[in-house]
Structure formats: structure tokens, C-alpha cells
Structure 1
Amino acid sequence: METKQLGKTGVSVSAIGLGAMPMSLSSRPPESESIDVIHRALDLGITFIDTADSYCKDESDKHHSERLIHQALQTYKGERDRVIIATKGGLMRPNGNWTRNGEPKHLEETIRISFEALGGEKPIDVWQYHAPDPNYTIEESLAPAKKAVDAGMIRFVGVSNFSVEQIKRARDIVDVVSVQNQYNPWYRQPEFDGVLEYCEQESLTFLPWSPFGGSRRHQGLADFPTIAKIAKEKGVSVYCIVLAWLRSKSPCILPIPGASKVSSIEDSVRAVDVILSNDEVQRIDRETAS
């Protein structure tokens, strides 16, 4: 598996990660199947898993994904010391909905529970503030993360759904190694709002969420002629082409495709070997922009 450095940390992670969200929402598969997915990802050389305290059915199920990943790692018979778990905090799941909560005391508490859910024996590898809450300043909401870093409960900090200005403010509080914003061929704002360029300049890892454009586009990727044609020419799936498109956009990008089936993560890993020409990238750009 190809690797790249996580931010400026000196820590190497796989060039493709595993997004854990599909294994914990209301449509999740049986636990045993999810553990098989995580084990297979590790077998394939994946060493970066992205999750969140809010990857669950609702508030009564909070931290489900973190506990699942910890269980999978504990039962894995192969090498697991190099696995980096990136979790998030700052979203709530009342009745299965998504709401923001950047209240400092809440974040301090959810960091503690995430630490325990992931085993409680070593610092959280990466803790990411999930989304800015307009009711609190960036400085107020990230103070608990800085406190947890100083206390040895968090190793590295990242941010999610942040603008360049917000990233800069966050970095005045705590060292930031990653940015996780929405990015795919149909939503290319990071190319135009300066976030992707800033991550490149500052050597921050960019983690694109919703890489396939959401469930509707995910199911209809084969209906895009250019993507389907390039996939056929290269003998790979349309999903591999989209992941290769993301990787072609910047060396700081680390795709984290979600998976709830072994076959899905096996397919995603193949994208590491897919190289798109500038012409192919531009053709995809033109098709998805229309």
C-alpha cells in the first residue's frame, strides 16, 4: 500500500483510508460483518480509519463507531500498531438528526468518552472538531482539545467543515494536522475557496468527505458517460475512477471512502494504482460541472 505523511507529523498512513460511518448508522450491517470489513481493510494495508462520536443511530447510541473499531482492532490477529484512528466531536444526533454542539463542556466530555471508547490506553490518534458552532467562538470550542493534548489524551488535532480563516484561527489555539471538508466531482468548493491550496501550502492533510457525491450519485455513477468510459478503458470500477480523480487533484488529499461490505473496501483500495491523465481529469471536470 502506498503511504503518505499525515500533516507534518512524520507519521505515515495509507494513501487510502477507511470511512467508518456506514457501519454505524441506522442502515448498518450486523456487527460481525462490520468487523470483517475493518479486518479486511487492515489486511489490504489500510492504516487510517476515520470515524466520529456521532456515527451512530441517535444520541442513545453515541460513540458506537468508536467502540466498534476498538473491538475490531482487539480481535485482529495481524499488525495493528501502525493504525491511526481519526475521530470527531461536535455533532449531536437527536432522533437521528444532525445538529452542531460546540459548547466547551460538552466537547470536553465527549473527548473523554471517545478516549475511553477507543480503549483508554493511549491518546486518541487524531481528534477533529466536526463543524464550527456559531454559538461559540473557534477559540472557545477548541480550548478543550488543547487541554486534552496537554493532558496526553489527544495526540493530534484536525478540523472539519472549516474555512481558511477558521483554520488559521484554530491553528492559533492548537497545532492542526488535517482538514476534513466535503469534496467530490460535483462539489468542488475546496478548489475555489482556498482551502485545498492552503492545505498544500501548509502541509495539512485534506480528507474529502462524501467522495462519491452522496447516496443518489453513488448509486448512479455508471450513468456518467465519461466516468464509465474511463473506468471501462482502465478495467476498474467507476468508484475507483472517482477516488483516482480526488487523488489527482492534490498530493495532500487522502480519500476516506466509506464501506459496509468487504467488496467495497477491496474495490476502493484498487484506486491507489489508477493514474488519470490531465486530459482524463479535465474531461471528468467538464462532465460533472454540467
Structure 2
Amino acid sequence: MGLNFGYGHALSQSDSVRLIHEAVDLGVTFFDTAEVYGPFTNEEIVGEALAPVRDKVVIATKFGFKFADGKQAGLDSRPERIREAVEASLKRLRVDVIDLLYQHRVDPDVPIEDVAGAVKDLIAAGKVKHFGLSEPGAQTVRRAHAVQPVTALQNEYSLWTRGPETNGILQACEELGIGLVAYSPLGKGFLTGAMTKDTKLEDNDFRKILPRFTPEAMQKNQALVDLLKRIAGEKRATPAQVALAWLLAQKPWIVPIPGTTKLHRLQENTAAAEVALNASDLAEIARAAGEIHIEGERYPAHLMATTGR
């Protein structure tokens, strides 16, 4: 997503392709995109970059919106729209089959059984391999799974967004054998330690509308970054690596998907797999994090309303 959408300065297509090639060389095999990123252009970048190594990677994309004049214009998960989205994504991604297809957000106007049924038909037709949901409610997961087995959920999960632990998502994953793909595992950049209350965001950086990225909230939430820095110092790692290692230590079926536009951050993130947190480390993080109040919702109200349905 962040290569050319959502986080202010966008990389050129050639630089984006080059960075994805670097990721492949570092051993990254799972790539996440969506038709709404751009819209459309992010899928094109991923398609161009991964075409030479298609048989070595897993590509996930998402449907769930309608568009007008090249801009996102609301939710739309009607079966006919899903089929249309998949055909377009296949072309942009330069693939014959989509490895993992998510509904980007639950559409309250379309029964989830109809959505799951449409994806089931696409799987039967050989256009999709696996079905996923992004930011659903736990009961929606169970209803969808009864029609077409759900392979993965993509929800925000990190040390400063712990909702999946209490809203039934982790429990549903455990019970149903579903993987959790944790997006924004670095708190949209905040947990790297590179941001402070004085950080100025570009006008086209969507974090400007997020309650946690006001100067006041960032100042209060610095306590969590300080905790990560302390653990990182003990482990000869970085705060970002500790945040990712913490996620990797939670469950074997949790996969974080950090994004970046910078090669040194890509190298840093992939090296997090080598950071080992033992039981004592995890207990200390749990104790210390439990004493920290996270200031601000992760999204403004109108976007929060699209999650957990």
C-alpha cells in the first residue's frame, strides 16, 4: 500500500519495482495489495515487479469498493462487482489466479453468505485460490466460513492495537484454523521510534486524520516507544524489530506485513525474524505494556464504523 498510496510521498513505479525486487532477494514471499490502493496502480506495480518470480511468491489482493471518476466511492460487495473486480485485478497483477482474495471491508448491504458464495464460485472457476476477510467481526467470520472456508483474516494488530485479543478474532482464528495477517504491525510507523510530537505529516498522508497522530496523542504514546527502545537495547535490535518479534511470538499462524518505501527499513524489518524474545522478555513486555494507556482511537469514527461488522 505505502509504495504509492496513503503515506505522503510516493515512490515512482520504477523505484517501487526495484524495492519489491530487493524484498524478493531478501526472502520475502508474501505480498499484499488491493484494487483501492491508488486506486489500481498499486496492483499494477506489484504485477510488474513479481511477474519474473510469480512461481516463488504469494500475492494477496482485495475487493469491496466501488469507484467513480477514478476515486473510491463507497462499499460494494455485490457478487457481480466481486467478479468484475477479480477480472480487473487478474489483468493488473499479470496472473492467472489470485492466491488470496480478501473482502476489504464488510458491506452491510450484502449478506456475507452471498460474498462467500461468490468467492467460492471464483475458486471453483480457478480464478482464486483462497478466501479472506479484512477487519470483520468474529460472527461474520463464522458465517462466511460456513459457506466457503476462510484462509486468512487481515486485521490491524500490534502492541498498540490489541483489539483482536478481546473482540473474538484471535479466538475465531484458533478455533477455525484461520491465519491472521497483521497489518500496521509497526503502528503505521509510530512504533519505529522515528516519529515524535513534532513530526510534520504531508497533506496527502492519511495519518493526518488519525486520532493517534495528533501531537498530543503522539507525546502520550511515546511511553510505548520508550518500552520498545529499552527492550531493543537489551536485544541489540531496533524498536521496530522488537515490535515485529513480539507479534511473531504470539502465535505461529500470525504473519505481520510491515510496509516501507525505504531499503534500510526493508532490511531492518526482515531481520526481525532473527530477534528472539524468550518467555521472560514477553512477560516483561506484557507487564509494562499493560500499564501504558494508548491515547486516541486508531481511526476516526467514520472509518471505525467500517470495522468489526
Query: Shorter-chain-normalised TM-score: which range?
Result: 0.7 to 0.9
Instruction: Write the distance in 2 (CA, Å) between the matches of 1:254 and 1:43.
Output: 19
2:161 corresponds, among 183, 187, 197, to 187
Match of 1:9 in 2: none
Q: Work out whether residues 185 and 284 of structure 1, in 8 Å CA contact, stay in contact via their aligned partners in 2.
A: no
Match of 1:280 in 2: 281
Report deviation, 1:165: 1.1
Q: Tell me, which stretches of 5 or more residues in structure 1 are unaligned?
A: 1-20, 57-61
Greater Cα radius of gyration, structure 1 or 2: 2
Q: Work out whether residues 151 and 179 of structure 2, in 8 Å CA contact, stay in contact via their aligned partners in 1.
A: yes
- TM score, norm. by length of structure 1: 0.83
1:175 corresponds, among 137, 145, 149, to 149
Alignment of 1:180-219 (within 5 A): 180-216=154-190, 218=192, 219=194
Q: Work out whether residues 177 and 204 of structure 1, in 8 Å CA contact, stay in contact via their aligned partners in 2.
A: yes
State yes or no: 1:37 paired with 2:19.
Answer: yes
| Distance verdict in 2 for CA 1:32–1:186, change over 3 Å | same
Match of 1:107 in 2: 82
SS in 2 for 1:23: coil
Instruction: Write the distance in 2 (CA, Å) between the matches of 1:240 and 1:216.
Output: 13
Match of 2:200 in 1: none
Q: Work out whether residues 36 and 72 of structure 2, in 8 Å CA contact, stay in contact via their aligned partners in 1.
A: no
Match of 2:32 in 1: 50
Report deviation, 1:143: 2.9
Name the amino acid aligned to 2:110: Y
Match of 1:244 in 2: 245
Q: Work out whether residues 142 and 172 of structure 2, in 8 Å CA contact, stay in contact via their aligned partners in 1.
A: no
Q: Work out whether residues 36 and 262 of structure 1, in 8 Å CA contact, stay in contact via their aligned partners in 2.
A: no
Instruction: Write the distance in 2 (CA, Å) between the matches of 1:167 and 1:65.
Output: 27
The root-mean-square deviation of aligned C-alpha atoms, in Å, is 2.2
Name the amino acid aligned to 2:143: R
Q: Work out whether residues 47 and 92 of structure 2, in 8 Å CA contact, stay in contact via their aligned partners in 1.
A: yes
- TM score, norm. by length of structure 2: 0.78
Q: Work out whether residues 156 and 177 of structure 1, in 8 Å CA contact, stay in contact via their aligned partners in 2.
A: yes
Report deviation, 1:53: 0.8
SS in 1 for 2:99: strand
Match of 1:262 in 2: 263
State yes or no: 1:156 paired with 2:138.
Answer: no
Alignment of 1:60-79 (within 5 A): 62-74=39-51, 76=52, 79=53
SS in 2 for 1:254: strand
Q: Work out whether residues 183 and 209 of structure 1, in 8 Å CA contact, stay in contact via their aligned partners in 2.
A: yes
Identify which of structures 1 and 2 has the higher relative contact order when contacts are C-alpha pairs closer than 8 Å and 6+ apart.
1
Name the amino acid aligned to 1:145: V
Count of aligned residue pairs for this structure pair: 261
Q: Work out whether residues 141 and 172 of structure 2, in 8 Å CA contact, stay in contact via their aligned partners in 1.
A: no
Match of 1:23 in 2: 3
Instruction: Write the distance in 1 (CA, Å) between the matches of 2:240 and 2:108.
Output: 35
Report deviation, 1:167: 0.9
| Distance verdict in 2 for CA 1:86–1:266, change over 3 Å | same
Q: Tell me, which stretches of 5 or more residues in structure 2 are unaligned?
A: 197-221, 294-309
SS in 2 for 1:142: helix
